[in-house]
Amino acid sequence: MSSTVLKLSKSEILKLKKYYSNYLSSKKVPYSEFSAKKNGINITAYTSGKVLFQGNNAEKEAARWGNTEASTTKKDSTLPVNFASLSVLGSDEVGNGSYFGPLCVCAAYADKKDLSALKQLGVKDSKMLTDDQIRRMAIAIKELIPYKLLVVNPEKYNEIQPKYNAVRMKVALHNQAIRVLLKQLAPTKPDAILIDQFTTEANYMKYVKQETERVDQKIYFTTKGEQYHLSVAAASIISRASFLEELDKASIEIGTKVPSGAGKPSDELAAELLRQGGLNLLRKYAKLHFANTKKAQKMI
């Protein structure tokens, strides 16, 4: 089975939903716009703009909607044998597709001796867990395994973003989290490093070469990395818990619940913040380069 990920605009995702209207699934996938199944291929469009095609001939189906050379395609066979039972350093990020809140990147090291304990905690894909489960589980994971968490709040994000596009920023953060955690682990070396793939390996390598210090150990890339090793699932949970915590803090400061994602509730809150304090206030809580900013400006 192979999987391919495309990054599409909101209008393109609407076209997909219309095209697959006869194949839509009634089961709601967390943080998704829709999911469908056609000819044995599962198609899931996430609120972040990523669309996952999974199954035999997934790449061919995805090619209808974009250049798969620029997508993130990976087959299970590319990972070492018995990968799930190895001692692996995995990394993942949360918040990239949300207008409000930070970008959180976490690298976590799951030694083979800790895999059983992680399973007993119920560690798995964070999209399959409730927010309350994520908050509780993250505390236990942090006590159990080594990790490095990086949190870029919106104000810092807006400062960096003109110089670093979204992909380059994530590459820099993943590289930094992995590099720092490797230093913490030394002299222990993981059997492998796995990044939950967000761009092609070639694209990652292109951007990481621009970093002053970079990880020189072999890195594996695959979409749905949490399905291949618990280290990625743990990193995802820690990142998600941090993201939720930052949204809670923002909600207290603003005096109203701050939504995740990039839908209409985000537009409405952004418009209210613009009325109260203009862009100077909004930049403290939101990623200004998102289309939501212009939508909010039109609303006022």
* Nearest alpha carbon to residue 232 among 113, 145, 107, 131: 107
Whether residue 146 contacts residue 111, with contact meaning beta carbons closer than 8 Å, is answered with no
Q: Please name the CATH architecture into which domain 85-247 falls.
A: 2-Layer Sandwich (3.30)
DSSP, collapsed to helix, strand or coil, labels residue 249 as helix
Fold of 2-73: TATA-Binding Protein (3.30.310)
Query: Cα angle at 158 between 154 and 163, to 5 degrees?
Result: 140
- Structural domain spans, the chain: 2-73, 85-247, 256-299
What is the model's pLDDT at position 151? 98
What is the model's pLDDT at position 74? 43
Whether residue 238 contacts residue 95, with contact meaning beta carbons closer than 8 Å, is answered with no
Query: What span, in angstroms and rounded, lies between the C-alpha atoms of 280 and 263?
Result: 22
What is the model's pLDDT at position 175? 97
* pLDDT tens per residue across all 300 residues of the chain: 567 788 888 888 888 998 888 889 887 787 788 999 888 888 999 888 888 888 777 777 887 776 543 344 444 448 888 999 999 999 999 998 899 999 999 999 999 999 999 999 989 877 778 899 999 999 999 999 999 999 999 999 999 998 998 899 999 999 999 999 999 999 999 999 999 998 889 899 999 999 999 998 899 999 889 989 999 999 999 999 999 999 999 999 999 999 998 889 999 999 999 999 999 999 999 999 999 999 999 998
DSSP, collapsed to helix, strand or coil, labels residue 109 as strand
What is the model's pLDDT at position 32? 86
